[in-house]
Structure 1
Amino acid sequence: MVNMMRAVQYSTYGGDGPSSLKLVDIPVPKPKKGEVLVKVDVAGINTVDWKIQGGLLKHILPLKFPHIPGTDISGEVVSVGPGVENFIPGDKVISCVGVLRGGSLAEYAIAPIKSTVKRPPTITPVEGASVPVTGLTALQSAKNMAGIRLDGSSNLNVLITAASGGVGTLYVQLAKLGGCFVTATCGARNMALVKNLGADEVVDYKTPEGMRYKSPSGRKYDVVVHLAPYQPLEAFKAELAPEGMVMDMTPTFKTVARNWYNKLTFSKQKFLPFGMIPNATDLQEVIDLVEAGKLKVIVDSTYPLEKSADAWARSIKGHATGKVLVSCNN
């Protein structure tokens, strides 16, 4: 077992974004109780990762610097902490390590067993690293907030904005599994992809209809899955069903404030912030859906660890089609 590893770190909030990421040599961490040490094959980058770098939650849950970012891990267990019985060295695993813990942009990372599952042989390391945050976000919000039932019986009209991104591509498929009528917005170059994933109608977000979130068939939405930058509830009201809901998937304090305002005014239209909770049960359900061929993973690009800043920049630009990944032991 090696004692040192390469890892990507940043040492302060804000800074210059991608250029603040530094490749360093540091000691390999040791797993504690309830943890495993994973040799990382592939790591995923998510919107929340660079939003945390930009200062999201710093007044509530501040980071300890220097910080190794990254939440998604696909790799191999090399050692286990005290009391760990369900994993042994050599196990191929997928893990959502948690956005504040971070650590995935490194050759080795600590993974909590409470949000780690074994990777089936039929799922590649790239596929495995593509689904923890995106899959959990889509699954938990669909089932627990939107009330989408994956047995095909939901019969809801659903709008998914920014549907060609990492979460959006999975959400379109989950909503169709649930029996929903799906309207999706994305850029013109990705409309065919989103249509092929199952969306019933796809709108270019730059057109007048796209900017007003109008359904080409005139449907009113029971659920809006808003994956694009913040928009107030008023942006959706005209196209929202009388008791419809908007789920802000990258919420700000404005989202929280509006949610409370709606409660105080007894509004039947809901504007809800979503927060993903890593856990092995839900992650296993996502992996099972991928293994069964019911969810298809879309990968935008894969960068070597030393080019993590380029991967970071690619994600920040907001035009990735599917998931941006980093190969950590290439």
Structure 2
Amino acid sequence: MAGKLIMHAVQYDRYGGGTAGLKHVEIPVPTPNKDEVLVKLEAISLNPVDWKMQKGVMRPLFPHKFPYTPGTDVAGEVVGVGSDVKNFKAGDKVVAILSLATGGGLAEFAVAKENLTVARPPEVSAAEGAGLPIAGLTAHQGLTQSAGVKLDGSGKQANILITAASGGVGHYAVQLAKLGNTHVTATCGARNIEFVKSLGADEVLDYRTPDGAALKSPSGRKYDAVIHCATGIPWSTFEPNLSANGKVIDITPGPISLLTFAIKKLTFSKQQMVPLLVTRDGENLDYLVKLVKEGKLKTVIDSKHPLSKAEDAWDKSIEGHATGKIIVEP
């Protein structure tokens, strides 16, 4: 039945083209496989990976085929379930991560794997939930797995630097880091300094000032770990600011960062470059949703755009100056 229904979606059918390459189309509502749920979408959040894939940054891996409906981070209401689905039924409010390979987010309906779908309590709005998957999991995994921060506060004191702290990943990273036993130094533009302090950062640097560009802690601390959410900062800028065993966790590793990672490994350096590739994880996503419910984590929303004007959201993401998350609403 569902396969015969038609929905509105936004797609692109080739690499490149930017916002002009997006097309508004009418396509069949997808049918869930046996391990999937069909979700009527209420909010979708964009991530830089969405437009980078369109540029061809991840070819030949993603997308698997054209036309492609971008977007992986969604929230909405379950309206259908596959035969093997045990934990969800029609009417349940959820947050889900879709596959990068097949996408599907910029649409009125999407199918999601049951194991990458989590319940969304009434205290968490669709937009707050949709912001979490990629950005929240990246921040969470960078801090807990790569930097070794214990979010229950039980670990030893650590000094953490978070670059681009007002962005999607950065604003979650500041809040999560402060749940651990950490002193957080953050960088952002001048207009966001008070905002980043309000998230809990202990000291904030304007990246355009000499000290900000040099990443120097105002209190003279060396960093045990850097959650690096900006781009274009060379290793030589990080090195003098790191503690003896300091790590730079790069959430958008490019060729230079991968080369630095290899050199540091080969030379047995105690200071390390750590490329982070986020793992889609339903359990961690559920943990983040619960933190939002408890008021310990918030999704800051930069802007909301109707699906009919998804191009505006796409443009805003490409510009790279969003404060928090960019949301599209069907």
Q: Fold-level match, TM-score > 0.5?
A: yes
Give SS of 2:139's match: helix
Amino acid at match of 1:254: I
Question: Identity across aligned pairs (percent)?
Answer: 52
Answer whether contact 1:36 1:111 (CA < 8 A) is retained: yes
CA distance in structure 2 between the aligned counterparts of 1:39 and 1:132, rounded to whole angstroms: 17
Aligned to 2:253: 251
Secondary structure of residue in 2 paired with 1:177: coil
Distance across 2 between alignment mates of 1:143 and 1:70? 26
Q: AA paired with 1:141? A: G
1:10 correspondence with 2:12? yes
1:212 & 1:262 partners in 2: Cα distance? 21
- In the alignment, what sits opposite 1:268? 270
Q: Is the 8 A contact 1:76 1:90 kept in 2?
A: yes
Aligned to 2:292: 290
- Amino acid in structure 1 at the alignment position of 2:224: D
Query: For the residues of structure 1 that align with 2:100 and 2:212, how far apart are their CA atoms?
Result: 32
- Equivalent residue number for residue 51 of structure 2: 50
Could you tell me whether the CA contact under 8 Å between 2:187 and 2:207 is conserved in 1? yes
1:307 aligns with 2:309: yes
Instruction: Answer yes or no: is the 8 Å Cα contact 1:230–1:250 preserved in 2.
Output: no
Q: Is the 8 A contact 1:299 1:323 kept in 2?
A: yes
**Aligned residue number for residue 77 of structure 1:** 78
- Counterpart of 1:149 in structure 2: which amino acid? K
Distance between the aligned counterparts of 2:29 and 2:89, measured in 1? 18
Specify the alignment match of 1:113 in structure 2.
Answer: 114
> 2-side partners of 1:320 and 1:25: how far apart?
29
SS of the equivalent of 1:275 reads coil
Alignment partner of 1:204 out of 203, 206, 220: 206
Cα distance between partner residues in 1 of 2:306 and 2:271: 45
Instruction: For 1:48-197, list aligned pairs within 5 A.
Output: 48-154=49-155, 155-197=157-199
- Equivalents in 2 of 1:305, 1:143: separation in Å? 35
Q: Which amino acid aligns with 1:189?
A: R
Closer/same/farther in 2, CA of residues 262 and 194 from structure 1, 3 Å limit: same
| Alpha-carbon distance in 1 for matches of 2:251, 2:76 | 28
CA RMSD in angstroms, aligned pairs only: 1.2
CA distance in 1, matches of 2:86, 2:180: 36
* Cα distance per residue 1:190-240 (max 9 Å; x no partner): 100100110000011111111111111111101011101143322211111
Paired residue secondary structure (2:178): helix
Q: Which runs of 5+ in 2 are unaligned?
A: none
Q: How far 1:262 sits from its partner (Å)?
A: 1.2
The unaligned stretches of length 5 or more in structure 1 are: none
Matched residue type, 1:133: I
Equivalent residues in 2 for 1:205-220, closer than 5 Å: 205-220=207-222
From the superposition, tell whether residues 41 and 228 of structure 1 become closer, same or farther in structure 2 (CA, over 3 Å). Answer: same
Instruction: Provide the TM-score with structure 1 as the length reference.
Output: 0.96
Letter in 2 for 1:139: H
Aligned residues of 1:162 and 1:228 also touching (Cα < 8 A): yes
Residue aligning to 2:240 = 238
**CA-CA distance at 1:61 after TM superposition:** 4.3
Q: Is the 8 A contact 1:48 1:99 kept in 2?
A: no
Partners of 2:92 and 2:232 in 1: CA distance: 40
1:317 aligned residue: 319
Secondary structure of the residue that 1:222 maps to in structure 2?
strand
Deviations 1:290-309 (A, max 9, x none): 11111021000000001111
- AA paired with 1:83? D
Q: Deviations over 1:86-126 (max 9, x none)?
A: 11111111001132221110001111111110110111111
